[in-house]
Amino acid sequence: MFEGFDAIFLARLQFAFTVSFHIIFPAFSIGLASYLTVLNGLHLWTGKPVYLSLFDYWKKIFAVAFGMGVVSGITMSYQFGTNWSVFSDKTGPVLGPLMGYEVLTAFFLEAGFLGVMLFGRERVGEKLHFFATAMVGVGTLISATWILAVNSWMHTPAGYSINEVGQFVPEDWWAIVFNPSFPYRLVHMVLAAYLTTAFVVGGVGALHLLRRDIDTPGARTMFSMAMWMATLVAPIQIFAGDLHGLNTLEHQPAKIAAMEGHYDDHPDGAPLILFGLPDDDAETVRYSVEIPKLSSLILTHELDGPLRGLKSWAKDERPPAELIFWTFRVMVAIGFAMLGFGIWSLWARWRGRLYRAPWLHRAAVIMSPMGFVAVLCGWITTEVGRQPYVVYGMLKTAEAASPLAAPAVGTSLMAFIVIYTAVFGAGTYYILRLMNRPAIAIDEPVDSEGPVRAGGIMPGPSHGKDAADHA
């Protein structure tokens, strides 16, 4: 079935497929863990029951997302040993310990306190329960730190030497971890996770504001907190993205040339190509719409700043522009849409109509998955832009693959597609069902229609029409 395919292409396709699933769930759980910590802290500080009800609402969603993130991450390790065994052998002395530190310092921290966070409030007390929640949040951030250190080292390798059998061996762990692109990637990714979660929470809050009485405290609080996050973090993310771009220009100029669609050198200032159709074979962008000098102004902060084009590199040393030209633009467009959304919500808040703006709420529902799209597009831009190298400038992707036949890789790829569709499709469907239910504040009025369940010999009150869903 796969005899006519290239084994390396199938291995890359398999890794792209699995990492696309994987990155969604950690991005969501990083932001959601911090959100749960804030909710728990606000409840402890203010005593308002709405924060506790929202904590209980989102902790179920976090538990499912966290579990799927762990499972999808394990399969990534599996592929390092099967499809990319040469990469594992060459880089193992450097990357192996970093991955081990991630498990020891982050995953154990998350797993150790997760049970207390989910089930322990009545057993350990509110303060210790808040501490456990905070530790889960810190664990997700530490996990992101180690993973981004690994990934950044593959883009900007530092602090190593190469031994007699061609392996990268560590010389300076500080230089390895704090390699030149690490701080920019870490900040950019964590902010992306926060924005992604904020727009999901905001979309859910907006959905319930549209469906129910606008005075529902849970929906109002969700929407308000999410819009504050969008207003404050979106401009910071754009600034961090600009710094990340400058760092990429310094260390990976070919990637920048592909992202911008520049095939020719521009010694006197490069235009910003807004739209067009890159053609790697013809080495041009067809039907391009350009703004003179703007690309140089953004990337070098000078109108006449010189930029190199892809023709400066041999064809087998260039990343493919046809894909990352568009994924980069989609990511940037979503980033500016988030900024505009934050300004819109701030305007509505100033006018006292944040909870009485149905068009804003409809737009929030539409925007709710856009953070995931931006994360995926950003990841594709970063990883495809590194090609043809897996360790930039040192180890090519084609040299890092296992000596496997195409049918073997293709068969495992098909197995991944079937299993992922079933498992993660079911998990995503369950998360959407949870989000579809309203978050009922504990202090909401008792339903006048009477109890829907009984405790002992006395009937228990129901909190709103959907209380049975939360029993």
Lowest average pLDDT, out of 80-84, 150-154, 226-230, 257-261, goes to 80-84
Contact 257, 309 (CB under 8 A): yes
Q: What is the pLDDT confidence band of residue 412, given thresholds at 50, 70 and 90?
A: confident
Q: What percent of the chain has pLDDT over 70?
A: 92
CB 328 within 8 A of CB 259: yes
Cα separation, 85 vs 106, in Å, equals 25
Q: Worst-scoring range by mean pLDDT, 127-141, 223-237, 410-424? A: 410-424
Q: How many alpha carbons fall within 13 Å on the CB side of residue 445? A: 6
- What does DSSP assign to residue 266? B
State the pLDDT confidence band at 227, using cuts at 50, 70 and 90.
Answer: very high
How many CB atoms are located within 10 Å of the residue 87 CB?
A: 21
Statement: residue 160 has pLDDT above 50: yes
pLDDT at 2: 67
Rounded to an integer, the average pLDDT of 154-170 is: 93
Confidence of residue 213 (pLDDT cuts 50, 70, 90): low
Tell me the average pLDDT across 280-298.
90
Q: Is 281 exposed, middle or buried (0-12, 13-18, 19+ CB in 10 A)?
A: exposed
d(CA 191, CA 193): 5
Helix then strand then coil, % of the chain, to nearest 5: 70, 5, 25
With a cut of 80, say whether residue 469 has pLDDT above it: no
Amino acid at 286: R
The more confident residue out of 369 and 464 is 369
Helices (H) and strands (E) counted in the chain, each on its own, are 17, 8
Mean pLDDT of the chain: 87
Q: Which of 163-167, 310-314, 450-454 has the lowest mean pLDDT?
A: 450-454
Q: Is the pLDDT of residue 467 over 70?
A: no
- What whole-number percentage of the chain has pLDDT above 90? 55
Confidence of residue 3 (pLDDT cuts 50, 70, 90): low
| Residue 163 scores a pLDDT above 80 | yes
CB 31 within 8 A of CB 196: yes
User: Shortest CA distance to 41 belongs to which of 304, 368, 33?
Assistant: 33
What is the model's pLDDT at position 214? 66
Q: Count CB atoms within 10 A of the CB of residue 327.
A: 21
Provide the whole-model pTM.
0.88
Q: How confident is the model at residue 464 (pLDDT cuts 50, 70, 90)?
A: very low
The pLDDT assigned to 7 comes to: 87
Tokens coding 207: 């959905």
Taking alpha carbons only, the member of 149, 143, 141, 240 closest to residue 190 is 141
What's the average model confidence in pLDDT over 102-113? Answer: 81
Asked whether the predicted pLDDT for residue 72 surpasses 60, the reply is: yes
User: How does pLDDT run across 262-276, given as a tens digit for each residue?
Assistant: 999 998 888 999 989
| CB contact set of 410 (below 8 Å; sequence gap of 6+) | 1, 2, 5, 10
Task: Give the model's confidence band at 452: pLDDT under 50 very low, under 70 low, under 90 confident, else very high.
Answer: very low
- pLDDT for the residue 175: 95
Q: Does 443 have pLDDT greater than 60? A: no
∠ at Cα 26 (22, 27), nearest 5°? 110
pLDDT, tens only, 320-364? 999 999 999 999 999 999 999 999 999 999 999 999 899 999 999
Write down the pLDDT at residue 278. 92
Largest Cα span, the chain: 84
Q: Output the pLDDT for position 447.
A: 43
Q: What is the DSSP letter of 438?
A: -
pLDDT for the residue numbered 405: 86
